[in-house]
Chain A
Amino acid sequence: MPAKNFVFLPIVAAVVLVQLFTAASGSAYYLTQLTMAAYYSLLIVGLCVLMGYAGQISLGHAGFFAIGGYLSAALTVRDLLPWAESPVVRFLDALGCLAHGQDLYGAQLLTVAPWAAAAAAVIAAALVALVLGVPVLKLKGHYLAMATLGFGIIVYRLVLASEYFGEADGISGVPGFPLLPGLEVSGDSAGRVANYYVAWAVLLLAVLLLRHLIDSRPGRALRAIHGSPEAADAMGVDVARYKLKVFVLSAVYAALAGVLMTHYNGGIGPSEAGVMKSVRWVAIVAVGGMAHLWGALTMGVLLNFLSLRGVFGSYDDAVFALILIAIMLYAPGGIFSLVPGGRWGERLAGLVRRGKSGEAAP
């Protein structure tokens, strides 16, 4: 394990300790919100790389979350039996992409298998990001913010208006997502502990991949674009291409978060696609310190957990908007810039690195 990755050890330890604590204190219900907070944070760390490191804002990331969540929900819930004889459905069935089941009343049901639905949902989000990104990423600053905001609004209105996506009710009755025999992503209380670990394993793995990215040739190219687009271009970085790639990557993270959250919750509703959600995600990345993956992770988990616990009450959205304003005014470098010795993750990594200098010169 490269020295820098030792910074993961205390986090893994904390994840385990929290679980043990909740088990001992009989407060295992906290795990549900911690699981959901982990899935939301998956979106946030992806957005952090897009915004903080590559310097491209998106006010439409709830849209990608919704594409992931809604597609995997609709595909795994909507009955395909009426089209059972169509060549497309038969072809998909032959490929093993479909699931034969029964509804509550014992009637036959033909749906897309969760893995195939998830793959389709994530690929769809990636394609949408690709098609949207080509024109939109030519824009800068406010213009990019407005264009992505527009995209978010479109997704929101589409799911709200379409019968297929359940209109104002959203989609419920989404089956669990089987991972291994006896282990599935679902809200079943028997699997609560396992699901907590699954969510955190997914999140930490996702962060590990992003850390690798940031500290590598393509990651430096992204940061260079943020630092000076002209100079990056002059150094041979294909700026448009790299912006597009990181946009798609962050959309994939968001869609994957949507897929997993939807299977965990057993459904998804239009509020997940709402513009206020996109604003919230941007606020959390800003609080975390923008180009600060650990900050985004910490704030993503903490603020989502508090929100899911209902701490902010009916002022939920207002609280996040307020946080955004306060951070911009008083701590544009993020909440950790207020703490002497902040940016603890990097500091810790630095200490470990220095401690091991020589042998593992990073």
Chain B
Amino acid sequence: MSLLAIEHLGKRFGGLQAVDDVGFTLARGAIKAVIGPNGAGKTTLFNLIAGMLSPSSGAILFEGQPIHGLQPCQVARRGIARTFQNIKIFHGMSALENVMVGRHVRTGVGFFGAMLRTPACRREERAIRERSLELLDFMGIADCADTPAVNLDFGRQRAVELARALALEPTLLLLDEPAAGLNIYETAELGRLIGRIRDLGVTILLVEHDMSLVMDISDEIVVLSFGRKIAEDVPEVIQKHPEVVKVYLGD
């Protein structure tokens, strides 16, 4: 059984069919990329999977269960984490605290336990902090732990956002243009990092415009254009696919 199955998914915004009868599956442990020109509906697709939008038609199955129509926080609890195309960092919190929020669904202390600082709360806090520091270290930004996240440069904010998503211990990770705004060295580093994340057992679905990165790391690629899937195959085939070449290079 595939980890994620998208079936005849559609999303309409007024007169605009942003996602149009899209279907594909994602195998456990795979890295799959969604590409397509601006406005193709890639982010909308992500928002549908993550529960930020509910579909106008079709179904989304995760681990065999329908997840369309769930709230984002419920989707997160199922083990789907995401990053955003426009970074959404928690201002007013340090880099470390940002990542610690990622542990939310894996921990359980409530208002009373927290206010009274019960032994269970202390234990949990320690574990959250340790795990989050490990993740900052994994991302290579452990030295920024106590820096307010808004003061970090763009690349590091992306790293914090990714660490935060990983803190959720996701089964499926959705990355919306993770290389946007990174230079070629940082992009290459990101490619290696995504490989390492997959090696941890995380399945990855990413939207990306950087073709070298996409061709390099993806097992399979889905191509969207005007909301419709126009191709789905391994990178070697996609590169030569006539319709893809047309969409990307023009006639």
Q: Which residues on A are within 8 Å of B, measured CB to CB? A: 2, 209-210, 212-213, 215-221, 223-224, 226-228, 230-239, 245, 249, 291
**A residues in contact with B93, CB < 8 Å:** 220, 223-224, 227
Task: A217-B109, A220-B101, A233-B72 are known; give 15 further A-B pairs, CB within 8 A.
Answer: A209-B115, A217-B107, A217-B128, A220-B104, A224-B90, A224-B93, A228-B88, A231-B84, A233-B73, A234-B50, A235-B101, A235-B165, A236-B73, A236-B76, A291-B92
Q: How far is the CB of B80 from chain A (nearest CB, A)?
A: 9
Contact B52 A234 (CB under 8 A): yes
Q: Report how far A150 CA is from B76 CA in the complex, Å.
A: 36
Chain B residue nearest in CB terms to A226? B92
Contact B109 A218 (CB under 8 A): yes
Q: Does B100 contact A (CB under 8 A)?
A: yes
Q: Does B103 contact A (CB under 8 A)?
A: yes
Chain B residue nearest in CB terms to A228? B88
The one of B76, B90, B104 in contact with A217, judged by C-beta atoms closer than 8 angstroms, is B104
User: Interface stretch among B33-41, B117-125, B234-242?
Assistant: B117-125
Q: Report how far A226 CA is from B103 CA in the complex, Å.
A: 18
Contact A238 B73 (CB under 8 A): yes
- State whether A212 and B88 are in contact (beta carbons under 8 Å apart), knowing that A217-B109, A235-B164, A238-B73 are contacts in the complex: no
Q: Does B14 contact A (CB under 8 A)?
A: no
Q: Report how far A216 CA is from B164 CA in the complex, Å.
A: 16
Contact B109 A235 (CB under 8 A): no
Q: Which of B61-109 contact A (CB under 8 A)?
A: 71-73, 76-77, 81-82, 84, 88-93, 97, 100-105, 107-109
Contact A235 B114 (CB under 8 A): no
Contact A220 B97 (CB under 8 A): yes
**B residues in contact with A224, CB < 8 Å:** 90, 93, 101
The one of A219, A226, A235 in contact with B102, judged by C-beta atoms closer than 8 angstroms, is A235
Q: How far is the CB of A346 from chain B (nearest CB, A)?
A: 12
Contact B116 A209 (CB under 8 A): yes
**B residues in contact with A210, CB < 8 Å:** 115
Q: How far is the CB of A23 from chain B (nearest CB, A)?
A: 34
Q: Report how far A248 CA is from B97 CA in the complex, Å.
A: 25
Contact A212 B116 (CB under 8 A): yes
Q: With a 10 A CB-CB cut-off, give which of A217, A219, A249 has the most chain B CB atoms.
A: A217
Q: How far is the CB of A256 from chain B (nearest CB, A)?
A: 14
Q: Does B185 contact A (CB under 8 A)?
A: no
Q: Does B13 contact A (CB under 8 A)?
A: no
**B residues in contact with A215, CB < 8 Å:** 125
The one of B50, B92, B104, B116 in contact with A237, judged by C-beta atoms closer than 8 angstroms, is B104
Leading 9 A-B pairs by shortest Cβ distance: A227-B90, A236-B76, A236-B105, A216-B114, A231-B88, A233-B72, A209-B115, A228-B88, A224-B101
Q: Report how far A245 CA is from B112 CA in the complex, Å.
A: 11
Q: Does B135 contact A (CB under 8 A)?
A: no
Q: How far is the CB of A252 from chain B (nearest CB, A)?
A: 11
**A residues in contact with B116, CB < 8 Å:** 209, 212
Q: Report how far A93 CA is from B106 CA in the complex, Å.
A: 47
Contact B115 A217 (CB under 8 A): no
Q: How far is the CB of A248 from chain B (nearest CB, A)?
A: 9
**A residues in contact with B110, CB < 8 Å:** 218
Q: Report how far A227 CA is from B81 CA in the complex, Å.
A: 18
Contact B111 A236 (CB under 8 A): no
Contact B71 A213 (CB under 8 A): no
**B residues in contact with A230, CB < 8 Å:** 52, 72, 84, 88
The one of B76, B111, B168 in contact with A249, judged by C-beta atoms closer than 8 angstroms, is B111
**A residues in contact with B92, CB < 8 Å:** 223, 226-227, 291
Contact with A along B24-54 (1 / 0, CB 8 A): 0000000000000000000000000010100
Q: Report how far A2 CA is from B52 CA in the complex, Å.
A: 40
Q: How far is the CB of B143 from chain A (nearest CB, A)?
A: 15
Q: Report how far A49 CA is from B70 CA in the complex, Å.
A: 29
Contact A217 B73 (CB under 8 A): no
Q: Report how far A249 CA is from B90 CA in the complex, Å.
A: 23
Contact B109 A216 (CB under 8 A): yes
Contact B101 A237 (CB under 8 A): yes
Q: Report how far A209 CA is from B90 CA in the complex, Å.
A: 23
Contact B81 A234 (CB under 8 A): yes
Contact B77 A236 (CB under 8 A): yes
Q: Report how far A245 CA is from B124 CA in the complex, Å.
A: 21
Chain A residue nearest in CB terms to B52? A230
Q: Report how far A298 CA is from B1 CA in the complex, Å.
A: 60
Chain A residue nearest in CB terms to B146? A350
Q: With a 10 A CB-CB cut-off, give which of A219, A235, A291 has the most chain B CB atoms.
A: A235
Q: Report how far A2 CA is from B125 CA in the complex, Å.
A: 13
Q: How far is the CB of A86 from chain B (nearest CB, A)?
A: 36
- State whether A228 and B114 are in contact (beta carbons under 8 Å apart), knowing that A216-B109, A233-B71 are contacts in the complex: no
